[in-house]
């Protein structure tokens, strides 16, 4: 079935904005306007640094705060999700901190990358390290990278990420 907007086959035809009038006159309902019985609200703690490594997370003080029903850290939300099609592999919360011993929230400030050239250099260096780790893993297993299938290559690439050297 053809959507009514496409009838007539006009390329570039306008799509009707069914929610447009409500947004324009202020009568539209947004997610922040919705109030349901027994609804909880969330507060997210973000890093005050542009780039930092989480060294530890301790939620015990937050749990003592009046009205707090629950706390959540990355290890409790391992699934990846995507709000929009090109973000299908996002993580809602950072998980790597949970690999480190439990400590009070501690951040190691790292240098912030503020220009494109520096970002490309950092990404290239990271790629080179990971590829070197992948080559090392392949050598120890007697594998030839050129003869691996796409699935084998992908598995080794993922393993190289886990075996940071």
pLDDT digits (tens, 9 = 90+) for 46-104: 778 877 777 778 888 888 889 889 988 877 777 777 666 666 667 666 665 444 444 55
**CA 125 to CA 114: how far, in whole Å?**
17
Residue from 70, 99, 93, 97 nearest 81 by CA:
93
Write down the pLDDT at residue 7.
59
Mean pLDDT across the chain: 79
Query: Facing residues of 80 across strands?
Result: 91
Residue 64: CA atoms inside 13 Å, Cβ hemisphere, count? Answer: 4
Higher-scoring residue by pLDDT: 40, 51: 40
The predicted-structure confidence for 94-142, as pLDDT tens digits, reads as follows: 665 444 444 556 777 888 878 888 888 888 988 999 999 999 999 999 9
pTM of the entire structure?
A: 0.44
- pLDDT band for 37, please (50, 70, 90 cuts): very high
Instruction: Give pLDDT, residue 61.
Output: 84
């Amino acid at each position: 079935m053809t959507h009514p907007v496409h009838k007539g086959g006009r390329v570039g035809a306008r799509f009707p904005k069914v929610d447009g009038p409500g947004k324009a006159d202020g009568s539209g309902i947004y997610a922040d306007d919705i109030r349901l019985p027994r609804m909880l609200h969330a507060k997210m703690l973000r890093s005050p640094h542009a780039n930092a490594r989480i060294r530890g997370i301790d939620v015990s003080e937050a749990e003592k705060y009046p009205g707090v029903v629950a706390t959540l850290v990355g290890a409790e939300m391992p699934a990846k999700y995507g709000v929009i099609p090109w973000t299908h592999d996002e993580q809602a919360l950072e998980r790597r901190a949970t690999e480190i011993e439990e400590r009070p929230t501690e951040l190691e400030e790292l240098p912030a990358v503020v220009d494109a050239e520096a970002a490309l250099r950092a990404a290239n260096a990271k790629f080179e390290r990971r590829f070197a780790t992948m080559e090392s893993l392949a050598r120890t297993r007697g594998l030839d990278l050129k003869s691996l299938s796409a699935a084998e290559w992908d598995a080794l690439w993922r393993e190289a990420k886990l075996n940071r050297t």
